[in-house]
Amino acid sequence: MSKLVTRAQMRALEEEAVAAGIPKRELMAQAGLAAAQEAWMAVGAMGDRGILILVGPGDNGGDGLVAARELAQFGGVPFVYLLQSRPADDPEWQAFLETELQYMVAEADDPTFERLERLFGEASAVVDALLGVGAHPQERPIEGALAEVLTRLAARQDQIAGPQVLALDVPTGVDADSGYADPLAVRADLTVTFGFPKVGLYSIPGREYAGRVVPVGIGLPEGAGDELPYEELRLRDLKTVMPERPTDANKGTFGTVTVAAGSKRYPGAARLAAEAAARSGTGLVQLAAPEAIQPLLVHGLPDVVHEPLPSSEGGLDAEAARALLRALNERRSTALLVGPGLSLTTATRGFVRELLGGLDDIESLEAVVLDADALNALAEEPGWWLRLALPRVLTPHPGEMARLTGTSVEAVQSDRLGAATAYAERSGSVVVLKGACTVVAAPDGRARLSDAANSMLATAGTGDVLAGLIGGLLAQGLGTYDAASAAVYLHADMGRRVAESHGTAAGLAQDLLRTLPDSRRLLESGGGGALSMPDLGGMGGMGGGGMPDTGGMGGNGIPGL
């Protein structure tokens, strides 16, 4: 997996590198060189036009100064615009002065910003080296000269044929940890991030401000970061955890998943979840739905086994839970999904409570997925996890996460990674916090982040499809963390395909099921094809033009709401 870091983790890695004998200036030199290479590719055939480098006061500005020197070596025309004067003893500033390249200081040399406007007009690309990862925009909003510079940059970007913008490490105004963005934050076309991508670039709105994210090495010691707990979801890594599908297999080889779902009001949720589970590759799907709606589900689902359960007013109740426990034993189910379309009533609360007390006695059962109203019922049961030893996956959207944690949606969304990892550890569960840039958190502190954000998934029923996928993959023998991760990747790819064919507004959850076979093939050995979702990290620059031979380094919507 491609590792992701917080600002504190990246700082610690750099300090360890320095302690191991790698000079800090060497790390900065590598970062600046990589930035220069990406900027050079951005201008392409327009290499004779200027490249404006906006330089801030700290290390991010130092990276920008190095990039300016390297661009001059490539034959580019860099111009440095200092937000404020650099210290006289700054080695990167002294090295820059020795080049005799042009520069100006915003407040001292350009108080009216007229010369900055002329530079914007002459530049084919702008490099944002103003603040970097050290900024805390929620605590210190952008103001003063920086605000003026960014306002003028945004105005230039809005013009036809405006400059391409390349951000160093993170766009100025974006929090490297939470992804929070100041109203004046830089909207980059490409972000060259040093060492490892920052988790804030995989959170909304930071993901939208970053553009394409290109991680580049800076010369850290071999093995640095191997123990980092956060990763990006990547197809190439997920394929390695998928179980084999031997040619002499039978349906028992790929397990049995039982889907306990549906109510008189939401029969479609049961169908969506069951079909997603069936197409995930599991051997057998048992659909346990209220007997009152079972006739609605038989047509169009000939591939599943139906287990009608006793119902109260069209929903499941405590008696249904006891019947389900018996059915799980008889069918030898290996995985269970509970929750899609249950409705939250007194009867369904009793169903969830009764079921929770009996699941650990089902010998064949290896894992359970708790979704939708099952989660809402559990939110009313303090310490519910103490009554369930079975490995489990929780799939809350932000509203359900807020109920589980006793906080607000705003609090969850302000720190999605923190909210997911904290509740995963507290409850001993794998938590899939749905939404743009979905988070998959494990109880041991690990987490995987999706970079997908697609408003097509912001429609009813898409979360039911995701829950069915997780249940089906669990039945095939994947562990909870890997099953949840693979399902989130598939779900995002399915959403992308639907958005491409139907647009982001007209796609429905049932359309995801039509794309599922093609997406599912991606996880098979040799899978892929023209429609596969690319892993973007480490690709080249924004535009045409060759990279100079320097010997250096190259480079959503909310589901289920």
User: Per-residue pLDDT tens for 410-442?
Assistant: 999 999 999 999 999 999 999 999 999 999 999
Which residues in the chain come in under a pLDDT of 70?
A: 1, 45-49, 525-561
Query: d(Cα 34, Cα 63) in Å, to the nearest integer?
Result: 10
Per-residue pLDDT, 75: 86
Question: Parallel, antiparallel, or unpaired for β 315-316 and 311-312?
Answer: antiparallel
Both tokens of residue 152? 């003028």
**What's this model's pTM, rounded to 2 decimal places?**
0.89
Note the pLDDT tens digit of each residue in 157-216. 999 888 999 999 999 999 999 999 999 999 999 999 999 999 999 999 999 999 999 999
| Residue 435 DSSP code | S
Query: d(Cα 111, Cα 128) in Å, to the nearest integer?
Result: 20
Tokens 């249950």 correspond to what residue? 342
Angle at which helix 144-157 crosses helix 114-122, to 10 degrees, equals 30
Phi first, then psi: give them for residue 136, nearest 5 degrees.
Answer: -125, 80
**CA proximity to 272, closest of 344, 335, 340, 320:** 340
Both tokens of residue 456? 């097509």
The C-alpha angle with vertex 482 and arms to 477 and 483, in degrees rounded to 5, equals 60
Looking at the chain, the domain(s) classified CATH 3.40.1190.20 span 253-521
Q: What order do you get walking across the sheet with 439-441 strand by strand?
A: 2-4, 230-232, 447-449, 439-441, 430-433, 392-395, 367-371, 335-338, 256-260, 284-288, 305-306
CATH of 2-228, one of 3.40.50.150, 3.40.30.10, 3.40.50.10260, 3.40.640.10: 3.40.50.10260
Query: d(Cα 381, Cα 145) in Å, to the nearest integer?
Result: 52
Both tokens of residue 498? 């639907």
Looking at the chain, the domain(s) classified CATH 3.40.50.10260 span 2-228
127: left (phi over 0), alpha (psi -120 to 50) or beta: beta
Per-residue pLDDT, 251: 85
355 Cβ contact list (under 8 Å, min separation 6)? 260, 321, 324, 325, 338
Per-residue pLDDT, 47: 53
| Residue 371 DSSP code | E
| Domain 253-521 of CATH type 3.40.1190.20 | yes
